[in-house]
Chains A and B, each alone.
Chain A
Amino acid sequence: DTGVSQDPRHKITKRGQNVTFRCDPISEHNRLYWYRQTLGQGPEFLTYFQNEAQLEKSRLLSDRFSAERPKGSFSTLEIQRTEQGDSAMYLCASSPLQGRNEKLFFGSGTQLSVL
């Protein structure tokens, strides 16, 4: 069990550029979540997958954001035409499909800075 892995750890980009983050969940975890966290705030839910199906998207996830989990394993989160307000820590979490109160395992996040 190597834990949830996120890549890259840090990303600096210029406003208007596209960025893509990757999340590798714990092996055999069916559920995968993306969260965003800004300084001094708790993580905010963005979206959730069960296997390859995207089952819920937050209203925070504007049209510039897209997430995929093509084979039900790793997931990518893409932000198009980045804005300075997108600067945040992007967290990924996974959990097994064994019940509704299984704990979530979080990665260390990708810190995005938009200049």
Chain B
Amino acid sequence: DAKTTQPNSMESNEEEPVHLPCNHSTISGTDYIHWYRQLPSQGPEYVIHGLTSNVNNRMASLAIAEDRKSSTLILHRATLRDAAVYYCILRSNFGNEKLTFGTGTRLTIIP
């Protein structure tokens, strides 16, 4: 599986937008970009995924670079509940079914 690179940690003020970056320079044409987050003492939770176009859902937006070598997860208005570890994962549309997690970005929200 192609690898992703994320900052180890980030901080953001409550009620402000948060932009979480992810680099995936070796992404292949069939790789989807997935984001999961893990709140303290819980299992990971799906956030969003996309292939080429930007995606929006009730939780977040995913902005994908034109060359697909990077992406950004956008939380439009961070709340204390958004404090979690955020994982950016590439998942091929062919072959392995599993998700391969890295160490993610630990997001701290400052009240």
Residues of A within 8 A of B (CB): 4, 31, 33, 35, 40-45, 48, 50, 55-56, 91, 93, 100-101, 103-109
Contacts and interface: CB of A to CB of B under 8 A. Distances in A.
Contact of B87 (A42, A45, A48, A56): A42
Interface of B is mostly: loop
Contacts of B32: 101
Interface residues of B, number: 25
Interface in B24-79: 32, 34, 36, 41-46, 49
Contacts of B101: 35, 42-44
A93 B101 CA distance: 14
A13 to B, nearest CB: 20
Contacts of B92: 100
A55 B97 contact: yes
A48 B103 contact: no
Most buried by B among A35, A41, A100: A100
Interface of B: 32, 34, 36, 41-46, 49, 85, 87, 91-94, 96-104
B97 A106 contact: no
Nearest to A33: B98
Given A42-B87, A105-B46, A48 B94 contact: no
